[in-house]
Amino acid sequence: MDGAWVGTWRPHCPRGLISAQFPSPGPQYSIPGTTGFVGHSPTKARAPAYTFRGTKPPAAESCGPGPCYFVEPAITRNGKYVAPGAHLRGRPTTETTVTPGPSDYRTEAANRHVFKCPPVQSMAFRREPLRTDRPPGPGTYTLPRLMGPNTACTSASPCYSMRGRSQRGRFDKDLAKTPGPAALPKVAVDAYKTRAPAYTMSA
């Protein structure tokens, strides 16, 4: 067991013979085949296998009531299934929209976006400065009135209005609608005074 160390392992005598010491046709004959079903190579895909059998013998007795009770395949548990059908109809009217043609566009301005060109300055009029403070003018305000009874900051004198005579509530109009003295009958004097003797003049 004496010998030089190879890293952390020291060589030693083999315990038995290895397969390289036996003469053989080669390792290719030990690989499983790729044909058939039994002993197929697990590293290869296996095609499906089919079994051929003979015709089944006729049944000794019928398993159904007969062809008159055959249910159509279109009848389902939800009713009769009808395949969708297309309806023939006229061609719909297509609205034609007039669109601009190629000659309606100007492509000269797009050259500076496609080709390299030096910067070009544009000449234009000076723009009006944008004012952020726009106070109202003198004519926007309304001063309070200084004449009349409704003044805000001054004392007002008595104000009288001249107007015509109203047709309602006039002195000659009877608002109570009561009868006047001439509407009542004349009461005899004998009703509230001593009755005088009455004489009858005869022939």
Contacts of 74 (CB under 8 A, 6+ apart): 80, 81, 82
| 39-43, 160-164, 170-174: range with highest mean pLDDT | 39-43
User: What torsion do the CA atoms of 91, 95, 99, 101 make, to the nearest 10 degrees?
Assistant: 40
User: For 102, phi and psi rounded to 5 degrees?
Assistant: -65, -30
* pLDDT, tens digit, 9 for 90 and up, residues 105-140: 887 777 777 888 777 777 888 888 777 777 888 888
* pTM, two decimal places: 0.16
Share of the chain above pLDDT 70, in %: 87
Q: What is the mean pLDDT of the chain?
A: 78
User: Using 50, 70 and 90 to split pLDDT, how confident is the model at 27?
Assistant: low
pLDDT per position as a tens digit, 63-85: 666 777 777 888 888 888 888 87
H runs (alpha helix) in 3-101: none
